[in-house]
Amino acid sequence: MTLVSFLTGAGISTDSGIPDYRGPNGVWRKDPDAEKLVTYGYYMNDPEIRRRAWQVRRRAVTLTAEPNAAHRAIAELDRSGASVRVITQNVDGLHQLAGTPTRKVLELHGSARQFMCTECDTRGPMAEALARLDAGEDDPPCLVCGGILKSTTVMFGENLDPLVLGEAVEVTKASEVFFAVGSSLQVHPAAGLAGLAAEHGARLVAVNAEPTPYDDVADEVVREPIGTAVPRLLRELADA
Ligand code: ZN
C-alpha cells in the first residue's frame, strides 16, 4: 500500500492559535531571557529558571489548543485506510488529538503534553505535574527519585531522541508521497528529511506560506493557506 507521510512544522498549528516561537515575531526573538527557560544548562542549574518555566507551562496555550482542519484531514486520510505516518516538529500533540493514532506520530522535538524526570526518565501526563503546581508546589520534583522534572520537549542544548530520528529516516525513505507542511525546512535534521524523501523517489509536496530550500526539488509547491490546502490535497489524493 502507498505510504503517505507528513513532515509537519509550526505552520500547521498557527490556525489552532499556537504562535511560531522561532519565527521572526516569535517570543524567543523578542525576549532573549525567555530562551533560558528552554535551555537545558540554565534549566538544570537554576531553580529560579525552573520556577519560571513551570509558570510558562501552566499558562501555555499549547495545552488547551484544538486541532484544525489540516490536522483533521490527515487523521481522516488515516481512517480511510491509507497507510499514513506523521513526523512532526511540533510539541502540541494536535495530530493525536485529531485522531491520528499515537503510534503513527513521531514527535521529533518531544511533547509539551508529557513530563519526564531528568534522572530516572519516569514519564507522565503534563496535567499531573501541573496539578501539583495548582496544589502549591513551584518546582515539583520526581515522585520516584526526587530528580528534576521537565516537559519531554527537546530543549536547546539537548539532542533529538536518536530512536525517534532513526524511525523518521526509515519512514521517509519508504514514503511514496511525502508532504512537508508548515515547516520552513531550515532546522536540521528535520529539514533534511524532505531532501531524503525526494532522493528515495517519493513525490515531494511542499506546503508552506514562505519559500523553502527544498522547493526546487519538490514535485509540487503549494502556497495557499494550510487550513484549506491540506484538506484539498488529501481529497485529490483519495480520488486519484
Ligand atoms: Zn526520577
* d(CA 215, ligand 1 centre) in Å: 44
Task: Provide the domain count of the chain.
Answer: 2
Same-domain pairing of 119 and 189: no
Query: Which of 108, 8, 18 has its CA nearest to residue 62?
Result: 18
Same-domain pairing of 1 and 103: yes
Of the residues 125, 152, 179, the one at which a domain ends: 152
Q: Which residue numbers are catalytic?
A: 109
Same-domain pairing of 37 and 107: no
| 23 domain-assigned | no
What CATH number should be reported for the domain holding residue 46?
3.30.1600
* d(CA 85, ligand 1 centre) in Å: 31
Boundaries of domain holding 144: 28-60+115-152
* Residue ranges with strand state E in the chain: 3-8, 83-88, 105-107, 114-117, 123-125, 149-151, 177-181, 203-207, 220-222
Q: What is the pLDDT along the chain (240 residues), one digit of tens a residue?
A: 789 999 999 999 999 999 876 554 455 556 677 889 999 999 999 999 999 999 999 988 888 999 999 999 999 999 999 999 999 999 999 999 999 999 999 999 999 999 999 999 999 999 999 999 999 999 999 999 999 999 999 999 999 999 999 999 999 999 999 999 999 998 888 899 999 999 999 999 999 999 999 999 999 999 999 999 999 999 999 887
* d(CA 119, ligand 1 centre) in Å: 5
Collect residues with CB below 5 Å from ion ligand 1: 117, 119-120, 122, 142, 144-145, 147
Same-domain pairing of 107 and 124: no
pLDDT of residue 238: 87
pLDDT of residue 30: 62
What CATH number should be reported for the domain holding residue 3?
3.40.50.1220
Same-domain pairing of 138 and 224: no
CA–CA distance, 163 with 39 (Å, rounded to integer): 22
| 42 domain-assigned | yes
* d(CA 195, ligand 1 centre) in Å: 39
In the chain, the amino acid numbered 115 is F
Same-domain pairing of 97 and 50: no
Using a 10 angstrom Cβ sphere, with 0-12 exposed, 13-18 middle and 19 or more buried, the burial of residue 61 is: exposed
Same-domain pairing of 32 and 143: yes
* d(CA 123, ligand 1 centre) in Å: 9
CA–CA distance, 112 with 93 (Å, rounded to integer): 8
